[in-house]
Structure 1
């Protein structure tokens, strides 16, 4: 593990004015909080926050970010609290640590709807302070570097999450080196055979041809010396995942791939960049269609560079990137370059993007959709897209992903233009709407009043914005027809399990599925975007499940107790498996288990010696955890019996019930229900909430009830 003084020195190397006492204090506090905790590898847990901090020193981050890295798991995994961190290190650092904790708690690899909603939350957390995401990315990178110590199924889950969310985010932020490494680490988990095959072919190629990188690097340096341009030249082989992706996209074998090496030329000025480009194109033949000038047309994350591919030594294709030192800093650090230092001073890199403006441009597009699936599709399309730049007839630049069509161009200007599009002209010539646009083309859209989007446009459009708008328009056009059909399908599906598809049941199902309202649910049901079984399962999952044998309850449901300690659930919050918990010791009574958000814990904040770090065991629990429900229902014949039946159908047992208020039209009562875990409780609540005669329902948590 890196020693505190070594870490302090790493920061001083780029920031001599660093607050070393702050970093030492964060190091000591984090180490004390994580004392006794270990990683899957057997190493002390604190080695992880230290490595995350070290990764951020490579990006020359400020003191607050380094301190946050050292503390980023304290609120989540130790007895530390937000208030204590704020008191010791200030509100700025406490806010950053809390932001990282919230990102950690998002289940980004869960179902599509939940994943989309959590990704929204991730973007909102980023929007407060981008440094939260920088710490989280460094955290994920170190976890991926040490992923072999996790369980195989956990490795696959984290690798998918990394490939779909964190690697594209790093790329979008301009941190291409991190994206490449994250993708390659995830690739080694998800398709280790393919990665090993590419590595073997690299070794065989090197054995057959020798190490070509020094030779080509030397050739480029010779050309630049003759031209009188001062520059640095670097070369590298591309990452295995990058090679594999290119093989898949172009449907080529490894032996037919020509540009598996990349070279970078770092110059002193922008004029030198174009001088280098001219010298290289005079020396070697440029490959048509492989030239991009991101200096004159920068990417939205501030990336600037010239890319060209030439036929180099022995006819091999060589990709060359040309940029200045300042451009290179942005290319390496991306949006993080905003916080960078040079020669011990905080510098204003003229090419670094303002993080606030970058986040605004990102979130405005991503958060515009009110549909979960469309939102996630939009995110993934935008994340992975390489850009092309086209012009309106007035000369304004429109940025689009590679492969975009005039339909995408029209919607990029305005939804109204896209909806009424009937034709397009590219560079003055009339072209079909499915034409793929190229860099530098001028595009003119022809519109007509009364035109509506066509279903075939879904096969033409590429951008999430266009596809979302087309889908929304088509759905509205057919909404009434789909809704009528959907209501009939819902009726049949509900009758199949002995239930009625009442308006309230449909509204509750829509809420459970993350849809806007019952009409949205019926329209999706009628358009076959949603099945009747899925709607029923959202309300009555126990009726749709096949009975599964439950595993035997182990001797201890709560993990973290000493052998001589017993535990009991707190009556005030009634925690159940699946909820985060903490224990409070009582003399002669053992440990009382509270939910982590129980208000009763406030009175123990100044007694840290009584707190015990606990968690539920991972297996299946027996339905033996009593939870009190506060139910207000219609005073009518058969209502109470139906409510008891609904609870029984969810495989939950009623252990006690009592009326708390009787009125001529409504009864209010508390019902003690025994459940397995928080998911089981959610199923019971959803089934009850869907009943038309249940006016109000909530889980009762009473801080006045003694533990």
Structure 2
């Protein structure tokens, strides 16, 4: 079963992977049992949890945890896991994992109680009364929305996901408990049916693994990866495990020799350090074999060692000592101490050529760095109100969690929120600098415009241009490690719908969509009303909708008003043809169930609409496609893009053809209006002889033809006999363009001129 990241993100974080069946059970004991209270057989982890909590909790906190355990045990009375264990063993195991991170009493109590609201219908008010508001809030954040009716299962799952992430943004302990919950469920997945194992493992790999990595929980991250791999591909897992076991014995001599040499070298440098081997995880081996097309023996030729020293300076001293012992491989050194990873990870990484020509990987770090590398945000889980007291790792995590709240404020629905956040769960990071040398971490593939929005939403909204490494560059330019990025803003600038085609981060995408929905609301309402009116007319329905039908329509579409419904149509969020067919069904069958009236997709609804008239100055709700830049005289077609309104393409546009094949229901007929009192951008290529003055002659002739030049570029190869000049010019229509091209073609040195419909990188765009 192959789950895409999008599929898994929609369906994950909501599944129950420990089904239970009723069976008689005796309430268990915890810590010091009350006299006469029998001990639950088979729950051995109670004593282990007690021992772990006693190491760092006060007697008063232990008493509170005991009360939470008793209540949970009572509520889960009669529940059994598929494995046959009493259900209470699961909350205890989750609490034990949280105790390894030394979470506080409130978190441990929430871990013990995390299923009582969902399974036993315990109300939040009761938890507040018994255990306090903070514990109740944690449990509520971990519980699904069981009692709310949603239009679809996808919507319900997306809303549950949003609920948990927002609870996590307010209190990071929510996700720590959730990850502990999923880890124990993965450890005990053996009793499930194979198809359910694969589904849960797929969700874990696509959702929980990246969340654990994003928060720097490397131990959990690696274990969840291997557990998921073992259930997704059990035969491959067993084969690799067997091969690794054999290889470990065969290569023990090489590893021992490297270990001994490194220890002796560090001792001779009078440095106290712990040196130990670092074995690759089975999934890490499998992923490297697949991605780089390597054999098993080639992957295992890279040995790993970790060196833990006592202070920051010794990290670099140890690095120099190792480079004197073995030769470093060029391009294989990374300094994650000076520039930590997005999740707070710090270490020096270097690859050396060891004995027998074997590549050897070393990680060098301090004890504190090692603790953070293994436990991530759980090493400093407690948030303080004063941001000045936060550690660097806390500040990074706090900034990411805060961005979730920012996206929530700008997002219309749970599915859209999910779409924005899922991008940030897979951040293969790139590190860039502000002009003042501040480091900004962004997901790989992020553009200069993403950088602007990462600084502040207002900066992104007002961006007009950018300089990368002190040179002008397009806003769509993908950033690379080490780039110095400067943003140029203007108070009069506003976001363009075309920005949505190249921004990478959830924060930028949600901010742009929020602006398009609110600032340009009147344009979207006007376009939506026009499209709906045409769709109703095509069905011989009056555009004035009866009051009872209107009330029912708004209720069933979750729209608060007719204007909101029109706006949704205008930005492409709803299809006018489907809404019109829905209205017809309401008029005809008010007594019939909703499902019988609106079954099917927009592909099933064929309604011939009158063409929408395009004047070229229709505002943000109607945009001309940058891929083909249609001008009056071109045959055109319209695409209703989600949250971008109506995008107008030339009928000859290759991009339009591809999209129309995929989503034919989103395309409508459009025609040019009359009295177009404006000019339109158009791209042309001029092939000229590479001689002095040719550019000036061409530019002058374009001006003489009453066309305005907005962009000019040329080939970088100045030694070529021929060169291409590329212009973006503003013309009135195809007749004006043809006249200009005819005049330019007559210039001495011009070999050819043609209209270009592909898209260029324009520094002003």
Same fold by TM (over 0.5)? yes
Match of 1:158 in 2: 200
Cα distance in 1, alignment partners of residues 158 and 594 from structure 2: 31
Which residue among 79, 87, 95 is the counterpart of 1:37? 79
- Cα deviations by residue, 1:268-303 (Å, 9 ceiling, x for unpaired): 111122222232333334445544433333455544
Match of 1:370 in 2: 411
Offset of residue 134 of structure 1: 1.8
Specify whether residues 305 and 489 from structure 1 end up closer, same or farther in structure 2 by C-alpha distance, changes over 3 A only. Answer: farther
Match of 2:30 in 1: none
SS in 2 for 1:171: helix
Cα distance in 1, alignment partners of residues 49 and 298 from structure 2: 46
Structure 2 residue 144 is the aligned partner of structure 1 residue 121? no
Offset of residue 41 of structure 1: 1.1
Offset of residue 142 of structure 1: 0.5
SS in 1 for 2:320: helix
Cα contact 2:430–2:441 (8 A) shared by 1:
yes
Name the TM-score, length of structure 2 as normaliser: 0.59
Match of 2:284 in 1: 242
Offset of residue 40 of structure 1: 0.9
Offset of residue 206 of structure 1: 3.8
Cα contact 2:333–2:349 (8 A) shared by 1:
yes
How many residues of Structure 1 are paired with residues of Structure 2 in the alignment? Answer: 541
Which residue among 242, 255, 269 is the counterpart of 1:227? 269
Cα distance in 1, alignment partners of residues 579 and 239 from structure 2: 45
Q: 1:636-675 to 2 correspondence within 5 Å?
A: 642-645=589-592, 649=596
Which residue among 324, 327, 345 is the counterpart of 1:282? 324
Structure 2 residue 311 is the aligned partner of structure 1 residue 269? yes
Offset of residue 508 of structure 1: 4.6
Match of 2:218 in 1: 176
Structure 2 residue 522 is the aligned partner of structure 1 residue 522? no
Match of 1:689 in 2: none
Offset of residue 384 of structure 1: 1.5
Match of 1:361 in 2: 402
- Cα deviations by residue, 1:429-476 (Å, 9 ceiling, x for unpaired): 555666543333322345689888788766654323344556678896
Bigger mean CA offset, 71-80 vs 451-460: 451-460
Specify whether residues 83 and 483 from structure 1 end up closer, same or farther in structure 2 by C-alpha distance, changes over 3 A only. Answer: closer
Q: 1:46-125 to 2 correspondence within 5 Å?
A: 46-78=88-120, 82=124, 85-86=127-128, 88-102=130-144, 113-125=155-167
Offset of residue 81 of structure 1: 5.2
Specify whether residues 29 and 434 from structure 1 end up closer, same or farther in structure 2 by C-alpha distance, changes over 3 A only. Answer: closer
Bigger mean CA offset, 220-229 vs 36-45: 220-229
Which residue among 526, 532, 549 is the counterpart of 1:487? 532
Name the TM-score, length of structure 1 as normaliser: 0.64
Q: 1:283-432 to 2 correspondence within 5 Å?
A: 283-299=325-341, 301-338=343-380, 353=394, 357-358=398-399, 360-372=401-413, 373-414=415-456, 418=460, 424-429=466-471
Cα distance in 2, alignment partners of residues 512 and 149 from structure 1: 45
Specify whether residues 405 and 359 from structure 1 end up closer, same or farther in structure 2 by C-alpha distance, changes over 3 A only. Answer: closer
Offset of residue 38 of structure 1: 0.5
Offset of residue 48 of structure 1: 0.9
Match of 2:230 in 1: 188
Q: 1:684-703 to 2 correspondence within 5 Å?
A: none
Cα distance in 1, alignment partners of residues 545 and 189 from structure 2: 49
Match of 1:167 in 2: 209
Cα contact 2:532–2:580 (8 A) shared by 1:
no
Cα distance in 2, alignment partners of residues 364 and 315 from structure 1: 51
Cα contact 2:465–2:488 (8 A) shared by 1:
yes
Q: 1:570-609 to 2 correspondence within 5 Å?
A: none
Specify whether residues 197 and 238 from structure 1 end up closer, same or farther in structure 2 by C-alpha distance, changes over 3 A only. Answer: same
Cα distance in 2, alignment partners of residues 213 and 18 from structure 1: 50
Specify whether residues 71 and 453 from structure 1 end up closer, same or farther in structure 2 by C-alpha distance, changes over 3 A only. Answer: closer
Specify whether residues 391 and 339 from structure 1 end up closer, same or farther in structure 2 by C-alpha distance, changes over 3 A only. Answer: closer
Which residue among 163, 166, 176 is the counterpart of 1:134? 176
Specify whether residues 61 and 403 from structure 1 end up closer, same or farther in structure 2 by C-alpha distance, changes over 3 A only. Answer: same
Cα contact 1:2–1:50 (8 A) shared by 2:
no
SS in 2 for 1:440: coil
Cα contact 2:141–2:164 (8 A) shared by 1:
no
Bigger mean CA offset, 138-147 vs 303-312: 303-312
Q: Flag the structure with larger Rg.
A: 2
Specify whether residues 112 and 530 from structure 1 end up closer, same or farther in structure 2 by C-alpha distance, changes over 3 A only. Answer: farther
SS in 2 for 1:399: strand
Specify whether residues 364 and 103 from structure 1 end up closer, same or farther in structure 2 by C-alpha distance, changes over 3 A only. Answer: same
Cα distance in 2, alignment partners of residues 319 and 24 from structure 1: 47
Specify whether residues 488 and 5 from structure 1 end up closer, same or farther in structure 2 by C-alpha distance, changes over 3 A only. Answer: same
SS in 2 for 1:643: coil
Cα distance in 2, alignment partners of residues 418 and 29 from structure 1: 50
Specify whether residues 166 and 21 from structure 1 end up closer, same or farther in structure 2 by C-alpha distance, changes over 3 A only. Answer: same
Cα contact 1:389–1:400 (8 A) shared by 2:
yes
Cα contact 1:420–1:449 (8 A) shared by 2:
yes
Cα distance in 2, alignment partners of residues 208 and 349 from structure 1: 47
Match of 1:589 in 2: none
Which residue among 472, 485, 490 is the counterpart of 1:443? 485
Unaligned runs of 5+ in 2: 1-42, 383-388, 599-765
Cα distance in 2, alignment partners of residues 95 and 451 from structure 1: 42
Offset of residue 67 of structure 1: 2.9
Specify whether residues 523 and 32 from structure 1 end up closer, same or farther in structure 2 by C-alpha distance, changes over 3 A only. Answer: same
- Cα deviations by residue, 1:333-368 (Å, 9 ceiling, x for unpaired): 22222358xxxxxxx995662699456534244425
Specify whether residues 381 and 137 from structure 1 end up closer, same or farther in structure 2 by C-alpha distance, changes over 3 A only. Answer: same
Offset of residue 58 of structure 1: 1.6
Unaligned runs of 5+ in 1: 341-347, 544-637, 652-707
Bigger mean CA offset, 465-474 vs 33-42: 465-474
Cα contact 1:337–1:349 (8 A) shared by 2:
no
Specify whether residues 194 and 66 from structure 1 end up closer, same or farther in structure 2 by C-alpha distance, changes over 3 A only. Answer: same
Cα distance in 2, alignment partners of residues 418 and 354 from structure 1: 22
- Say what the alpha-carbon RMSD is for the aligned residues: 4.6
Cα distance in 2, alignment partners of residues 235 and 146 from structure 1: 29
Cα contact 1:40–1:150 (8 A) shared by 2:
yes
Cα distance in 2, alignment partners of residues 451 and 57 from structure 1: 52
SS in 2 for 1:517: helix
Cα distance in 2, alignment partners of residues 438 and 650 from structure 1: 52
Match of 1:576 in 2: none
